[in-house]
Amino acid sequence: MLLDEDSQAKYLVNLLQAVGHDVVTVNLVGLMNCPDVVVLDYARQDGRVLLTRNCNDFQELHQINPSHPGILAVYQDFVVSKNMTYQTIVKAIANIEAASYSLENQFVILNQWNY
């Protein structure tokens, strides 16, 4: 899994790794401040699902070229209490895995898997 600039908090990385995910961040792979298309290309080449809060830009890139390992989009609400916590992000990913849902070539709104 590749965590975008807006999603690479150390605590989230630790939570994901604790449940067995192979996680890298854009900072770790030298992609800080790179254009989104470069980040998505890296995810494609390295076979990594991308986790981002930059939903609109990556949805647009998905529509242009939907061939990728998957994009997990975390939408933010103006009401902060409605936003996903790091724990609920990890739980939503677990829900996707439990459902055997294929992420390949999909733009997935992670918030919808938070149950």
Structural domain count, the chain: 1
Does residue 95 sit in helix, strand or coil? helix
User: What's residue 64's pLDDT?
Assistant: 96
What does pLDDT average to over the chain?
95
Helices and strands in the chain: count of H runs, count of E runs: 4, 5
User: What's residue 81's pLDDT?
Assistant: 72
Cα Rg of the chain, angstroms: 13
105: confidence class by pLDDT, cuts 50, 70, 90: very high
Range of the domain at 83: 2-113
Closest CA to 4 of 46, 45, 58: 58
Q: Is the pTM of this model over 0.75?
A: yes
Angle, CA of 74, 42 and 65, to the nearest 5°: 70
